[in-house]
A and B are shown apart, each in its own frame.
Chain A
Amino acid sequence: MVNGGTRQRKLFLTAFILLLSTFLFGCTNASDASKPKGEDNNMLVIAWPRDVGEMNPHVYNPSQLFAQSMVYEPLVSYQNGGELKPHLAESWEISGDGKEYTFHLRQDVKFSDGTNFNAEIVKKNFDAILNNVELHSWLGFISKIDHTEVIDENTFKLTLTEPYYPTIQELAVVRPVRFLGEAGFPEDGDTAKGVVEPIGTGPWILEEHKADEYAIYKRNENYWGELPKVEKIKVKIIPDAETRVLAFEKGDIDLLYGEGVISIDAFKQLESTDNYKTSISEPVATRQLVINTKKAQLSDERVRQALHYGFNKEAMVNGITSGYEEKADHILPANLPYTKDIDVKSIGYDAEKAKTLLDEAGWTLPKGKTVREKDGQLLEIEMMYNSAESIQKVMAETLQSEWAAIGVKLNIVGVELTEQVQRFKDNKFDINFFSNYGAPYDPHTFLNIVASEGFGFNEAISAYPNKDELLKQMSEVPMTTDEELRQQLYSSILKSIQDQGAIIPISYLKKTAIYQKDITNFTFPANRDEHPFTGISIEHK
């Protein structure tokens, strides 16, 4: 008995010491998350759902695009309306055959460790990228590079195997074509396995990083361009959307921005308090419905048009997104290159017309029934949506009830994003949600995935009578050197794809930002993936 008591006490004591030491261990290195404003009053604090990842310019997931763009810079930058402006390259020439690109580099650029940015280091970065060409083959021009050469210290030449007009635009993407300083390279030069140090030419330098907790960037005092106004940017990693909002309300966070970083409901609620400033970006992409024309019920164009006529798009978009998305009439937003003034069939809400079209297509409504039939077959289709995306879910439910009114039975199924992508690729769907990549990838990347087999679109437009001609035109576009011909091709391809109804534009996606009142000069970058901190400042009262 006594013995048992002693043993118990010992056990308890051990457990207590263990617990205490754990707490003490856990409470060292305290980084006080709720730092009072006065302490670092020129530091902008933002919240982000995921860790910023390895600061390596040449890798993808889990690195975050906005963070990579703070440290690393491109030769060319994408500006509003699709204008491509010099960045690390001062100017460039393209040979008449469209294969040779000669870049004249800026001469006043230094990496954050003080070393010079020159043609040698540009080539070294290209070599590292081309060393893993399969990984980067999604970016059109990469697999078309024949060789790269250093002409002189400030001149770099890129030679392609065939003309490819989007090269300049693709040089503006955030990854992988951005530049790491010499000291950042591992010994074997293969950056795919990691970088030694994140040395870039950008306006920000990574000062401190604790995985899954926060990252602090300090201003690059030797930056060649316009010096940022805030000294530091702290990125707090807060995976939960509601917690991000609560931290923002408490004042721990200065800025919440992005796509889906804050729910529409929370955004509306915060906006209604009048305590904060808000911004909404221009359209960054189009939310689309992709209809699989390989399915018997959907192979008839009249059925697809009926579906488009058969729902009130404006009411649905406004109702579900509270006006934070905009009704879309084109499959690509008109602020991308070559996408203005595409003359497409205007389709508004007209349930009667939808019913007439379905009748014409042979899908009639038997007496006393609610679903149309043709040759004993029901007009029953399935729509898949990403179960994690509440907007897709509500839209699917809305369409289910809207189309029921015209005699179409829509079954909706929520799947994980990865499964949605897979089923789309394998052509195992009737109707799917999709949105295009946005700037600086489109419009050429969109055409590329429609044209290429295995992404889902190529198979989905199988019932188009002019499919082969469309594919031929799409393969011509990137090789055009004549601007006028290129515009003509884009106009006719995009019109034809949309008018035959396999892709229905729903709404234009936008980014939202909400920030404390002392934040000024917040602007959304034209490039969808770039950071928005250029020019941002904190007013000190």
Chain B
Amino acid sequence: MGTYILKRIMSIIPVFLLATFLTSGMIHLSPVDPAEAYLTAAHIQPTDEILTQKRHEFGLDEPFLIQYVNSIIKICQLDFGISYVSNKPVWDEVTYRMPATIQLALGSILIAVFVSVPLGFLAGVKKNSLIDHFSRFLSFLGASIPSFWLGYIFIFFFSVKLDLFPVEGIGTWQHLVLPSITLALPLIAMYTRLLRASVLENLQEPYVLFARTRGIKEKTIMAKHVLRIAISPMITGLGMNLGKLLTGTIIVEAVFSWPGFGRYFIEAIFNRDIPVIQCYVLIAASLFIISSLFVDLIQMCIDPRISRKEGQQ
């Protein structure tokens, strides 16, 4: 178990290197010079003197590989550099905005779990019932409506027309409701269907029949056995989706003026603010790796068969 975790943690390093290399490479290949982008965004006419000065300041006059190695060395010292745009340390800028994004992500996970677990479970147990049809309808909606459009619809009805929630911003719990639901709906769509399929599959398993013959109450079988095993793919999905969730916040943050990291990242892309882009990629990559590690560990706890397999290996 310990060795396994260590092995997984060590695997973060090559992924990091690859992610940073790809990002740097893509930025390097982009037809736009970051120094030029900086000046354009600042409404400064880019004269050659300013361009040379800025390129030197950003370290862009070095060969690509040297730029890359330098950035890696700095990252190892937890120095993500200075934002080209704001002239402030990227790490400070990111940590200032991170709590808002985490709050939004957690809010939507919470909603997604609380809605999709009962809904998916009941849809599976009561196949073709009204609740099953409802869950299917909700899933279609969630999977097909783009987040930004859903956000506008929510704002229009619940803020402008009914005045139940604020249009935008952050501060009170009311501010969190609409953006969280907007972000949660695609997750609800996915997890509900995932859990339903998994429940249906598990109902065919011999252990259910065995439990019934032992005379265990149907409710107990469902809650203690079926749900526990069936929830496993959903947890995997949840873990795999954490990174996706981070990227999903970008759109929702823009629509609801949520002052998080996603919005900041979008601006960074437009401004070719390389240190910020790199920092974002690193955070996203580590979130993917760490969340999948956590998912594996949780699954080991839930389903002993997995840890036995690991042990045999």
Contact = CB atoms under 8 A, between A and B. Distances in A.
Contacts of B170: 26, 33, 213
A32 B32 contact: no
B188 interface: no
A211 B167 contact: no
A212 B260 CA distance: 8
Interface string A108-151: 00000000000000000000000000110110000000000000
B255 A243 contact: yes
Nearest to A247: B167
B257 A422 contact: no
B168 A134 contact: no
Given A61-B38, A61-B41, A250-B159, A33 B103 contact: no
B171 A61 contact: no
Interface stretch (B16-24, B241-249, B266-274): B266-274
Name the residue among B42, B168, B271 with the largest chain A CB count within 10 angstroms.
B168
Given A11-B301, A26-B170, A50-B267, A418 B37 contact: yes
A421 B36 contact: yes
Interface stretch (B46-54, B61-69, B121-129, B207-215): B46-54
A371 to B, nearest CB: 28
Name the residue among A7, A193, A249, A418 with the largest chain B CB count within 10 angstroms.
A418
B270 A138 contact: no
B43 A22 contact: no
B160 A243 contact: no
Contact of A416 (B32, B99, B172, B257): B32
A212 B259 contact: yes
Given A240-B255, A418-B36, A134 B50 contact: yes
Given A32-B172, A62-B85, A418-B36, A239 B254 contact: yes
B41 A252 contact: no
Contacts of B173: 23, 27
A177 to B, nearest CB: 14
Given A61-B42, A134-B53, A30 B172 contact: yes
Contacts of A273: none
Contacts of B99: 22, 25-26
A474 to B, nearest CB: 15
A485 interface: no
Interface size class of B (residues with CB under 8 A): 35 or more
B155 A246 contact: yes
B140 interface: no
A20 to B, nearest CB: 10
A193 B163 CA distance: 44
B233 interface: no
A237 interface: yes
B206 interface: no
Contacts of A419: 31-32
A425 B86 contact: no
Interface string B253-294: 011110100011001001110000000000000000000000
A276 interface: no
Given A33-B171, A240-B254, A250-B163, A193 B36 contact: no
A96 interface: no
Interface string B143-178: 000000000100110011001001111111101100
A213 B175 CA distance: 13
Nearest to A16: B110
Interface size class of A (residues with CB under 8 A): 35 or more
B32 A137 contact: no
A4 B31 contact: no
B95 to A, nearest CB: 12
Contacts of B47: 137-138, 452, 454
A29 B270 contact: no
B199 interface: no
A61 B167 contact: no
B87 A194 contact: yes
Interface string B164-196: 001111111101100000000000000000000
B33 A213 contact: no
Contacts of A249: 160
A238 interface: yes
A422 B33 contact: yes
Contact of B48 (A214, A243, A454): A454
B5 interface: no
Interface string B6-46: 00000000000000000000000001110011101111111
Contacts of B221: none
B58 to A, nearest CB: 13
B230 interface: no
Contacts of B36: 418, 421-422, 425
B222 interface: no
Contacts of A214: 169
B102 interface: yes
A193 B32 contact: no
A101 interface: no
B155 A449 contact: no
Interface in B281-313: 298, 301-302, 304
B304 A4 contact: yes
Given A60-B44, A246-B160, A236 B257 contact: yes
Contact of A455 (B33, B45, B50): B45
Given A23-B103, A26-B100, A250-B160, A243 B155 contact: yes
Interface in A276-318: none
B257 A243 contact: yes
Contact of B168 (A19, A211, A243): A243
Contact of A32 (B103, B106, B171, B257): B171
A193 B270 CA distance: 23
Interface string A21-58: 01101110111111000000000000000100110000
A425 B50 CA distance: 15
A246 B159 contact: yes
Contacts of A247: 167-168
A233 B159 CA distance: 23
A198 B152 CA distance: 37
Given A23-B103, A61-B271, A239 B263 contact: yes
Given A19-B106, A423-B31, 19 more contacts: A4-B302, A22-B103, A27-B172, A32-B166, A59-B87, A61-B85, A135-B44, A138-B46, A138-B50, A211-B96, A212-B264, A236-B257, A239-B257, A243-B152, A243-B256, A243-B257, A250-B163, A416-B32, A419-B32
11 contacts: A23-B176, A33-B168, A212-B264, A213-B170, A238-B257, A239-B263, A242-B152, A246-B167, A250-B159, A425-B46, A455-B45
- What are the 5 closest A-B residue pairs judged by CB atoms, nearest first? A60-B42, A61-B42, A33-B169, A212-B259, A30-B171
Interface of B: 31-33, 36-38, 40-50, 53, 85-87, 96-97, 99-100, 102-103, 106-107, 110, 152, 155-156, 159-160, 163, 166-173, 175-176, 254-257, 259, 263-264, 267, 270-272, 298, 301-302, 304
